[in-house]
Amino acid sequence: MTTGNTDQGIVSLIGDLADQASTLVRTEARLLRAELSEKVSEVGASALQMMVGAMCLLAALLVLLQAVVIGLAELGLGMGWASLIVGVAVAIVGALTARAGSAKLQAENLTPNRTKEQLESDARVLKEQIR
């Protein structure tokens, strides 16, 4: 009789473990979805701000560059040479700025770190529970 009760106790414990593991997986999945949603929202808001700022800067840049071209032309440089010099300088600045911006959009900055840490912690706890 005690063997039957022990077997039922083990079966019950295994069932509880399976239920808890299932609940844990669902909870971790919800956490992952929430964190990914948060990251996507952050990227979207940042992209919108960058786009609006870029449009304003582009308008200002065009006006300022035209002023530089006119200023160089008035100093005796031909309009074509003045435009070429200004165009090359702006291209260099643009390339350096684009490279710096793309470096910030690395995949590691968008990784859901809290979920990763929580999953690692859960794995450690499960290993300890199984022992």
Residue 1's pLDDT band (boundaries 50, 70, 90)? very low
pTM: 0.42
28-32: long-range contacts (C-beta < 8 A, 24 or more apart)? 28/115, 28/118, 28/119, 28/122, 31/114, 31/115, 31/118, 32/112, 32/115
Residue 2 confidence (pLDDT) above 60: no
Instruction: Please give the single-letter amino acid code of residue 31.
Output: L
Domain ranges of the chain: 2-130
- Encode pLDDT of 59-117 as tens digits: 998 999 999 999 999 999 899 999 999 999 989 998 998 888 887 777 666 677 777 78
Rounded CA separation 125/47 (Å): 39
pLDDT at 29: 85
Mean pLDDT (the chain, rounded): 84
User: Torsions phi, psi of 10, nearest 5?
Assistant: -70, -45
